[in-house]
Structure 1
Amino acid sequence: MKSLVLERKDELSLRDFPIEREEEVLGPRDVRIKLHTVGICGSDVHYYTHGRIGPFVVEAPMILGHEASGTVMEVGSEVTTLSVGDRVCMEPGIPDPNSKATRLGMYNVDPAVRFWATPPVHGILRPTCVHPEAFTFKLPENVRFDEAAMVEPLAVGVHAATKARVKPGDIAVIMGAGPIGLVTALAALAAGCARVYVSDLAEKKLQIAESLSPAITGVDARKESIAQRVRADTDGWGCDIVFEATGSPKAAAQVFEPLAPGGCVVMIGGQPDPISYDAGAAMIREARVENIFRYAHVFPRCVAMLASGAIDVKPLITRKFSFEESVHAFETAAAAPPADVKMQIELPQ
């Protein structure tokens, strides 16, 4: 089937691609899905520009894409919760159901998890895919396909807010105003934060951040110290939570500076190399540090919040491309236009 294929580092093509038989056979608890909308994730772009993310190396042509929505077109013989015609979004990581991590409820850290567009597993920038019923979620009528394709990145923010144990009235700092930083800001507010400070180097992204809620304050890191701003606004006490969502070693080295005593740091941004960690700053605050890897158990929560209006991701969708424009879409995303947050690709229906 025609697919967006990463042939090798810096080379993409839109071409017919043979999908392995095991990915096309419909099992008794699987559904076949006609893809509608696929988001372009930073990891997709990183594979395109670097050919690897940490230990995951593109060694053979691979289909990209893992943020998706679509329509069920066929169901397996034992499927009970989905029907042909249902509009759905899909959680892209499938763990080994018998692994210890899965049995303990931490299926996202199962070493055997198969995650779309993570070598050697193919992604879903293609017309159809087969996916387990258990990781496919029906959409309420008022949730659009483009919003549904945002559930995957939103799940990261909701998982981060859950790990932070947000309490009503908390003050949070988000380092980074990219897609993950902004969905984390929305998740933190939905969880109960009274105010969220978002710091970044891009003025356009800070403007988008502030447009999402009057409770969000943008801080231009080129002109102002986030730590000084937060301390000034909190009578020197600091914030309750810091979410590091840049993946920048420089930003990660400063995570404790705005943090209040007893506060929590949540590390979201991926770091390719070991980073500086101020153990003394953490110690004198008795800081709690959490790390997240993707997400677990949050897709239904995300869909419910989109349906209720508790979270609105539509302002984050800043550009759309047709499937035929997929190569151009990735070239555009790789250029990182400052006014764009989330770009999406729509497949023919």
Structure 2
Amino acid sequence: MIHTTVSGEKPDIPATMQASVLMKQGVIDVQERPVPTCAHDEVLVRVASVGVCGSDAHYYREGRIGSFVVESPIVLGHEASGLIVAVGGGVSPDRVGQRVSIEPQRPDPTSDESRRGVYNLCPHMEFYATPPIDGALCEYVTIQSSFAHKVSDAISDDAAALFEPLSVGIASARKAAITGGSSVLIAGAGPVGLVTAQVARAFGATEVIVSDIAEGRRANALRFGATQAIDPAAEDVRALRVDSFVDASGAPRAVVDGIHAVAPAGRVVLVGMGGDEYALPVSVIQNRELLLTGVFRYANTWPTALSLVRSGAIDLDSMVTARFALPDVEKALNADREPGSIKAVVTLTPTQEELS
């Protein structure tokens, strides 16, 4: 059974929808597909906004990320928000009409990892836009009801979609043990580096140093939480002494230099997608007793994201530098190559301004 009513009104749910499909490396096609139906524990969401992630662009340009290979057509996009328009038989019909931010994953609740609370590491994970699972660059998607997080009307559709990269920043700050008075070095001033800088300040860090070789990106870092922005090609990063280091660049030199900058008993958190293997300064890690870890997505971050955005501690709307319609997804995937780009968003639901 699927519930589709709220306040006596039946949402207008068509039989088919438009979907932007990556047919193969470098080829995007807009197709008509059936609107998905809800399983017992799912909700159907009419998609409003979808943020474009670097992984989406990577699948488009390279056709793979590590062991994840695009072998058949796939819908990209995992940063999404929207409106619940239908629910499965096991979900309260009161949820119809709620605006939501989508946590784009479906772990196996019986796996050891899920039972330990680290469901992001579930080996049976189904994650939006990770082959072969379709993502959100389409008009409707389904998601388990517990992963459709209600947001208030004070939060925009774009910001609700960007709870996903914000969650990476929250997971990184937690791993780095950032707290009041902390000092942190963040390598890379792309979207993840910028949200991590904002989270670090919100968590109480008093020194947030962001390194990036691009002048424009350093300027962005100062707008979004950094107390200092440095050029690693011109300054000696290794001479710094910080409590923690978060790499959001994936650049081997940035990782090695950042490790050298961490004070004894500090933490190193690897977030950026770089080479599969490269040399690390093992003696520095050993002699300073540094804790080195990685971040793979996130778990239990959406409530924190909601609180931070609602309080005004995090500004996601200002990070959106370009918006595109569904037929222009290819342009959205290449927007990161434009000067001044931070985050591109694909808009599927018209705004009130567009409707008026």
Say whether the fold is shared (TM-score over 0.5): yes
Q: Answer yes or no: is 1:244 the counterpart of 2:247.
A: yes
Matched residues in 2 for 1:268 and 1:81: separation? 39
Matched, 1:47 2:51: no
For residue 75 of structure 2, what is the aligned residue in structure 1?
63
Report whether the alignment pairs 1:117 with 2:133.
no
Q: Does residue 148 of the first structure (1) align with residue 160 of the second (2)? A: yes
> Is the CA contact (8 Å cut-off) linking 1:172 and 1:193 kept in structure 2?
yes
Q: What amino acid does structure 1 have at the position aligned with 2:291?
A: R
**Unmatched tracts of structure 2, length 5 or more:** 1-16, 351-356
Q: Name the residue aligned to 1:222.
A: 233
Give SS of 1:38's match. strand
The CA distance in 2 between the partners of 1:208 and 1:248, in whole Å, is 19
The residue that corresponds to 1:178 in the other structure is: 190
Q: 1:323 aligns with which of 322, 326, 331?
A: 326
**1:28–1:77 contact (8 Å) kept in structure 2:** yes
Equivalent residue number for residue 24 of structure 2: 8
Deviations 1:96-129 (A, max 9, x none): 1111111111110111100000000011100001
1:278 aligns with 2:287: no
Note the C-alpha offset of 1:254: 2.1
Whether the 8 Å CA contact 1:253–1:275 is kept in 2: the answer is: no
Structure 1 consecutive aligned stretches of length 4 or more whose deviation exceeds 3 Å: none
Q: Which amino acid aligns with 2:333?
A: F
1:288 and 1:224 map into 2 onto residues whose CA distance is: 25
Quote the Cα distance in structure 1 between the aligned partners of 2:100 and 2:137.
Answer: 16
The separation in 2 between residues aligned to 1:82 and 1:309, in whole angstroms, is: 28
CA distance in 1, matches of 2:170, 2:255: 20
Distance 1:88 1:212 in 2: 25
Q: 1:292 aligns with which of 292, 295, 309?
A: 295
The aligned counterpart of 1:105 is 117
Q: Distance in 1 between matches of 2:324 and 2:192?
A: 21
Q: Which amino acid aligns with 2:232?
A: A
Is 2:346 the counterpart of 1:345? yes
Q: Hey, what's the Cα distance between the residues in 1 that align with 2:192 and 2:61?
A: 19
CA deviations over 1:152-184 (Å, ceiling 9, x no partner): 000000011111111210110000001111111
TM value normalised by structure 1: 0.92
Secondary structure of residue in 2 paired with 1:255: helix
- Partners of 2:221 and 2:338 lie apart in 1 by 16
1:196 aligns with 2:197: no
Compared CA separation, residues 332 and 312, structure 1 to 2 (3 A): closer
Cα deviation digits, residues 236-294 of structure 1 (max 9, x gap): xx100100111112222222121111111111112342121111011121111121110
* Partner SS state of residue 254, structure 2: helix
| Aligned length, in residue pairs | 334
Distance 1:254 1:224 in 2: 11
Pick the aligned partner of 1:132 from 144, 147, 152. Answer: 144
Structure 2 distance, partners of 1:294, 1:114, is 13
* 8 Å Cα contact 2:48-2:82 kept in structure 1: yes
- The C-alpha deviation readout for 1:131-167, integer Å capped at 9, x for no partner, is 1111110002211111111100000000111111112
3-state SS of 1:253 partner: helix
Does the 8 A contact of 2:21 with 2:73 survive in 1? yes
Instruction: Determine helix, strand or coil for the equivalent of 1:196.
Output: strand
> What's the C-alpha RMSD, in Å, of the aligned pairs?
1.5
Q: Once the 2 structures are TM-superposed, how far is the Cα of residue 186 of structure 1 from its aligned partner?
A: 0.9
Alpha-carbon separation, structure 2, partners of 1:134 and 1:185: 28
Q: Deviation string for 1:202-247 (max 9, x for gaps)?
A: 111111110124x52111223223233x3xxxxxxx1001001111
What's the offset of the Cα at 1:81?
Answer: 8.7
> Which amino acid letter does the alignment assign opposite residue 117 of structure 1?
A
Partner of residue 233, structure 1 = none
CA contact (8 A) 1:14 1:326 kept: no
2:219 corresponds to 1:207: yes
Query: Within 1, Cα distance between the matches of 2:349 and 2:119?
Result: 33
